[in-house]
Chain A
């Protein structure tokens, strides 16, 4: 009986987690300062996107660089180009979003 209860508890937790993940959209925010572009990736409730793949494209959709978010959801890199930069966060399982840093914002952060 104890074993069954335990199983139910585990099942409940697993189900709640999957429900949470579905309801939560992934976001990326970026800004340029002192020659570096800082990105942070998060779920709406503030949890960090850990180990998410970050892809950086220029205005012609050419991939400039890529990286992985740390435990706080952060990934920083040197300004690769004075251009509109499309920064994509791919957290897997359909959790994908992008943020465009305008050329003027990139230039201002050089």
Chain B
């Protein structure tokens, strides 16, 4: 117990030092309790929806999303009514914040792409609103079909790598789309989800730039990143929306993000 307390203290201290580094990357997250459902597995998924700093484990208050659904076998199903509010915080946050959870019963084979469109989040530090369209894919019963389909969000990442059954060290390749068209030279932020419940190997970044990895897409909006550790990895491509929103009577810009989550496991 004592070791644990000391460990937590170290983590808190490390992140306090890093907090001085300005680029804290916000990420929308969707993480299912499992990314591959086989016949002997629990067929009820617990899906968690958050708005956090994945590496630092900081939560941000999240109001109820505008859209939450699943794409399976070419059909979209609205799951917004299934979302229930929950509270969470990082070890160094003294206050809890709202996130959302939903239970979903897998009934048929194939790929299930869960997607979320959050309500715009006002970020005073950046003087803009943030909307992260976030996706994750779950495979069921060995039918590997559907993971490369578009949901049809304003911006989204289309995986070019099958997004499940990934080993640690695998390369993840994806394409950034904005209104269905590739975004040339899109900048993609990559973060490891330290926040995963039960993660005993919390990563302590030795310096600021380690928190968020940055890769750029090629002229076709295609990017790649090799994931060095087991766990959940988030990819976030940010663009400025053509539309604005009003805050305190003033027109403000909107950062729209296309976010995709994948899970890696160690070879052993």
The chain A residues found within 8 Å of chain B, CB to CB, are 25, 27, 29, 31, 40, 42, 44-46, 99-100
Q: Contact residues of B with A, CB < 8 Å?
A: 39, 107-109, 141-145
Min distance, Cβ B158 to any Cβ of chain A, angstroms: 18
6 A-B pairs with least C-beta separation? A27-B142, A46-B145, A44-B144, A29-B109, A29-B141, A99-B39
Known contacts A99-B39, A100-B39, A27 near B143 by CB under 8 Å: yes
A29, A31, A40, A45: the one contacting B145 at CB < 8 Å is A45
**Given A99-B39, A100-B39, also A29-B108 (CB < 8 A):** yes
A29 to chain B, nearest CB (A): 5
Q: List 23 A-B contacts (CB under 8 A).
A: A25-B142, A27-B109, A27-B141, A27-B142, A29-B108, A29-B109, A29-B142, A29-B143, A31-B107, A40-B109, A42-B109, A42-B142, A42-B143, A44-B142, A44-B143, A44-B144, A44-B145, A45-B145, A46-B144, A46-B145, A99-B39, A99-B141, A100-B39
A27 to B143 CA separation, bound complex (whole angstroms): 8
CA distance A46 to B142 in the complex (A): 9
Number of A-B contacts (CB under 8 A): 28
CB distance from A82 to the nearest CB of B (A): 19
Determine chain A's interface SS by DSSP, over half rule: strand
Q: For B109, what are the chain A residues with a Cβ–Cβ distance below 8 Å?
A: 27, 29, 40, 42
Question: In the assembled complex, which residues on chain A have CB atoms less than 8 Å from the CB atom of B108?
Answer: 29, 31
Nearest Cβ on chain B to A38's Cβ, whole angstroms:
10
A46 / chain B contacts, CB cutoff of 8 Å: 143-145
Once bound together, how far apart are the Cα atoms of A46 and B108, in whole Å? 13
Alpha-carbon distance between A73 and B199 when the two chains are bound, in angstroms:
41
Contacts of A29 in B (CB 8 A): 108-109, 141-143
CB neighbours (8 Å) of A27 from chain B are: 109, 141-143
Q: In angstroms, how far is the closest chain A Cβ from the Cβ of B139?
A: 9
Which residues of chain B are within 8 angstroms of A42 by Cβ–Cβ distance?
109, 142-143
Considering the chains assembled together, what is the distance between the CA atoms of A44 and B110 in angstroms? 9
Distance (whole angstroms) from the CB of A94 to the closest CB of chain B: 16
Chain A's closest residue to B144 (CB) is: A44
Query: Apart from A31-B107, A44-B143, A100-B39, what 9 extra A-B contacts exist at CB < 8 Å?
Result: A25-B142, A27-B109, A29-B109, A29-B141, A31-B108, A42-B143, A44-B142, A44-B145, A46-B144
State the Cβ distance, B35 to closest chain A Cβ, in Å.
15
Q: CB-nearest residue of chain B relative to A30?
A: B39
B143: which A residues are within 8 A, CB to CB?
27, 29, 42, 44, 46
